[in-house]
Amino acid sequence: MEPGTQLARSHDIGLKIGLLYHKRAETALNQFSDRVRAAVDGKDGGAGRVPALLAGVDPSGAWQYAVDTIQRSVLFWDTMRQRGNNFVDQAMRGLEPMLHFRYETVLDGRSFDRPVNYALVKITPPEGVIVDPLRRPYLVIDPRAGHGPGIGGFKDDSQVGVALRAGHPVYFVIFFRDPEPGQTLLDVCAAEQQFVRKVRQLHPDSPKPAIVGNCQGGWAAMMLSSSSPDDTGPILINGAPMSYWGGAWSSGEGDNPMRYTGGMLGGSWMSSLTADMGHGVFDGAWLVYNFENLNPANSLWDKYRTLYANVDTEAPRFLDFERWWGGYYLMNREEIEFITKNLFVGNKLWSGDVNSASGNAFDLRDIKSPIVLFASMGDNITPPQQAFNWVADVYGSTDEIKARGQVIVGLMHKTIGHLGIFVSGKVAKKEYTQLVSVLQTIEQLPPGLYGMDILEHKGEGGKVDYEVEFRELRLEEISARVNRFGRVDEHPFEAVEAVSEFVQRAYELFAQPAVQSMSSDWSALLLRQFHPLRVQHWAMSDLNPWFAWLGPAAQAVRDHRQPVEPDRPLRQLEEIGSELISASLDFYRGMRDATTEAAFFGVYANMFAMYLADKHKAEAARVKPVSEPREMPYVKEALASISQGGYAEAFARTGVLLMRRGEPLPLARLETIDELTRDYADYLPKVPREEARRIRGEQEIIARYEPEQAVLSLPTLLKDEADRARLLALLDKLIVDPRVQAVQPTQEQVAMLERIRTVLGARPPVERRIKAVR
């Protein structure tokens, strides 16, 4: 590349980075100013709020506040002591799943030919909950990202609780703290294949199990489903980082800082170093440490401030959450290197470069069951792009999704954070309750990409009721709307991958032998015990003699508690001070993230522009884009088969020609279709459900691009008079069925039905039998 071109590109990149950094800094400063102003001035916006509060302080109130402060302080530190004791107790017992429900072990992966520290357990329904063994079973896979399992069943209002109350058998994939020697993620995937087959054996007369994957458990669920597609039913993945290079949803505050971590650390070598220092074992506490660094205001202040301000009522909730958050699990070096190289840095798990234990590449197009993606715009750990972009990478277009018979549904929350997706009771009551309803009938959806909307309205007695609708979407439009930078911001990550491979190889050659020779089981244990996150737990427990007085003192405080109401002047001043500290920490985070983002693009965008951009353009030029959709291979293949097939193809094509267009599809209508499918089963083609969806998608392509020929070639598909009579009899029965009449067929549907009957030689005209439109 000529020096002038390099200089021009570098100047252009620097200008864009400068503008972006200025925007980020301005946003962080404005947010800080707004919070300070709101805290100091209050809801009324009065500038004299603080002086007025100070003027309202009297000696009696000051004394009461001092007593309350001392008492709250004692109770606060006693709660921290209890947290430490819980941590020590869990560590001594080897850590246990944080499931709210009782369970029994079905399969223990530690006894497999290739042992893994995973097990399949069956959730025992709570008292009063009836489970039907013939209903679709659920298999929940939790993330293994430093914490232990249980977040999917952390409380009664959770994924597990919702599925149980809906009458479904529920199974959970748990894992133990210590990995088995030599286990890999491919071994884990193979074990999960055995788990899902066992569930099918236990429920042979039920539909295939629904697979629920949370966060990293989401891509584990996708690995399982793509490598064992005949055993899995609908898949629900929540907040799962499937396309780790994606990000930048909004133009406001710093976008998705976690995606820059790999580049700022120089790639995957740091994970290898940490595992080598752990004598071949990676400490999951470092992953939790990264999560905590994302939001210093919450990690350092807000969660403790909330406990202190409401210590009389908040302690049980705080301790319950900390039992899960403070349980740190381990991985083998092979496991963390697989994750960092193939997902976090390489982003190539679905590109065909990674093979399963059977030797075949993981190909998400092999998945035959519908897929539901649940993400949130308020999630800065797994933003919507990371949850959805893989669809565009794998399928490329809406027509390919249809041609492969796939159903993909997206559900977007507007505000909830990453953890809230899994642990929020409100999300469980609203989103997961509706998602369970959806998974019962989602297989009735025609192939395609859909957006799921949950509509809220008041029912009888003021009770909140929900209705679900599906809107068919175009992948091309959604991809452009979600990725406001057109995914150009992902190019520098290619430079990160190249640097990571170089540094990783250099580490393995020059440093790894020395690090491994100096580590031992004893040194690894010492490093883990003195990790900062563990120290803050065990150092504030009964192991510390300086805390021996806290228990009795806290009990004395509870016996003589003298709380001060939150609306008293000094309590309000305390709240103002707390808000200022929190706002300052958030301002620090905003500036830190803006600086990190600018540094990342300053290094890797320039590196990509200088060394990889021309190669990228050359490769793109070799692959000529197809501007005309009809020239797509799968479209041409579908159109070539317009006169090929039999009853199954004619049935699917007739359904496409008669479908309602341009309006939402309510869940209630899907349930009606499910009922009709059972009632008229004798008239349906005898093909597997997955094959029926593929045929339906292919016929939809034919009807879109050749609508006239699609109708005229129906007699060719129904050469057998018995098949023709069978289809006409089904149409006659459906059109007079009260459930179909309740939907009120449109004029277009009536006209198309008459034409289909005419083409197939039916008499008399059908319009006299349609009451809803006459």
Contact yes or no for 96/90 (Cβ under 8 A): yes
- C-alpha torsion sign, points 112, 114, 119, 120: negative
Say yes or no to pLDDT of 503 above 90: yes
Establish if 179 belongs to a structural domain: yes
Shared-domain flag, residues 9 and 145: no
Judge whether 757 and 718 are in contact, CB under 8 Å.
Answer: no
Does 249 score more than 70 pLDDT? no
pLDDT band at 295 (very low <50, low <70, confident <90, very high): very high
Domain termination site, one of 443, 459, 490: 490
- Asked, for residue 588, whether it belongs to a domain, the answer is yes
Element (H, E) at 69: helix 59-92
Q: Give the percent of the chain with pLDDT over 90.
A: 66
Residues 583 and 725 in one domain: no
Question: pLDDT of 65-91, one tens digit each?
Answer: 999 999 999 999 999 999 999 999 999
pLDDT tops 50 at residue 772: no
Tell me the C-alpha distance between 725 and 482, whole Å: 48
For residue 503, what is the enclosing H or E element?
Answer: helix 492-506
pLDDT for res 626? 57
pLDDT at 771 over 60: no
- 367 and 232 within one domain: yes
Question: Three-class SS string for 334-401?
Answer: HHHHHHHHHHHHCCCCCCCCCECCCCCECCHHHCCCCEEEEEECCCCCCCHHHHHHHHHHHHCCHHHH
Do residues 446 and 578 both lie within one domain? no
Q: What is the pLDDT of residue 47?
A: 67
Which percentage of the chain shows pLDDT scores above 70? 95
Q: 390 in the Ramachandran plot: left (φ > 0), alpha (ψ -120 to 50) or beta?
A: alpha
The span from the CA of 417 to the CA of 377, in Å, is: 8
Model confidence, pTM: 0.92
Q: What is the 3-state secondary structure (H, E, C) of 184-199?
A: CHHHHHHHHHHHHHHH
**Rounded to 5 degrees, what are φ and ψ at 212?**
-115, 120
Same domain, 615 and 636: no
> Quick one: tokens of 764?
């008399």
pLDDT at 521 over 70: yes
* Greater model confidence, 659 or 253: 659
Instruction: Tell whether the model's pLDDT for residue 627 goes beyond 80.
Output: no
Measured over the CA atoms of residue 437, residue 442, residue 445 and residue 448, the dihedral's sign is positive
In a domain, 537, yes or no: no
Tokens standing for residue 452: 């799921």
Last residue in a domain, options 623, 651, 672? 623
The pLDDT tens digits of the residues spanning 679-712 come to: 999 999 999 988 999 999 999 999 999 999 999 9
Q: What's the rounded Cα separation, in Å, for the pair 441 and 691?
A: 17
> Do 645 and 583 have their domain in common?
no
Would the pLDDT of 297 be above 60?
yes
Q: How far apart are the first and last CA of the chain?
A: 73
- Cβ–Cβ < 8 Å for 54, 620: no
606 and 709 in a single domain? The answer is no
Neighbours of 685 (CB within 10 A): 17
Distance, in Å, from the CA atom of 504 to the CA atom of 510, rounded to the nearest integer, reads 10
Cα 323 to Cα 148, 328, 520, 538, distances in angstroms = 10, 10, 29, 13
User: Averaged over 648-669, what is the pLDDT?
Assistant: 91
Contact 654, 714 (CB under 8 A): yes
Which residue, of 600, 623, 646, is where some domain finishes? 623
Cα dihedral 537, 543, 549, 554 sign: positive
User: Among 294-303, 344-353, 373-382, 587-596, whose mean pLDDT is lowest?
Assistant: 344-353
Compare 391 and 610 and report the one with higher pLDDT. Answer: 391
The alpha carbon dihedral of 478, 479, 481, 482 has a sign of positive
- Do residues 640 and 617 share a domain? no
Positive or negative: CA dihedral 269, 270, 273, 279: negative
Note whether residue 336 is domain-resident.
no
Other CB atoms within 10 A of residue 734 CB:
18
More confident residue, 258 or 301: 301
Residue 538's pLDDT band (cuts 50, 70, 90): very high
Question: Does residue 339 fall inside a structural domain?
Answer: no
Residues 229, 370 share a domain: yes
**120: amino acid identity, one letter:** L
Bridge-partner residues for 467, per DSSP?
455
What pairing do the DSSP bridges indicate for beta strands 170-175 and 118-123? antiparallel
Q: How far apart are CA 504 and CA 267, in angstroms?
A: 7
Cα-trace Rg, the chain:
30
Does 306 map to a domain?
A: no
- Annotate 223-272 with three-state secondary structure: HHHHHCCCCCCCEEEECCCCCCCCCCCCCCCCCCHHHHHHHHCCCCHHHH
SS in 3 state form for 148-193?
Answer: CCCHHHCCCCCHHHHHHHCCCCEEEEEECCCCCCCCCHHHHHHHHH
Rounded to whole angstroms, how far apart are CA atoms 106 and 665?
39
Contact 248, 486 (CB under 8 A): no
Residue 225, C-beta contacts closer than 8 angstroms, at least 6 positions apart = 211, 232, 235, 367, 369
Question: Is the backbone of residue 280 left (phi > 0), alpha (psi -120 to 50) or beta?
Answer: left
- Residue (of 133, 137, 213, 204) closest to 173 by Cα position: 213
The CATH number of whichever domain residue 190 belongs to comes to 3.40.50.1820
Structural domain count of the chain: 3
Range of the domain at 581: 1-54+565-623
472 and 390 within one domain: yes
Pick from 239, 233, 188, 244: nearest CA to 211:
233
Helices 689-705 and 647-657 pack at an angle, to 10 degrees, of 60
What CA–CA distance (Å, rounded) separates 246 from 346?
A: 12
Same domain, 206 and 236: yes
Q: Give residue for tokens 């020239």.
A: 631
Angle 394-395-397 (CA atoms, 0-180°, nearest 5)? 145
The pLDDT of residue 414 is above 90: no
Is 528 inside any structural domain?
A: no
CB 326 within 8 Å of CB 533: yes
Comparing 196-205, 458-467, 517-526, 750-759, the range with the smallest average pLDDT is: 458-467
Cα 639 from Cα 653, distance rounded (Å): 13
| Residue 141 pLDDT level (bands cut at 50, 70, 90) | very high
758's enclosing H/E stretch is helix 747-759
Same domain? For 157 and 185 the reply is yes
Residue 710 forms part of a structural domain: yes
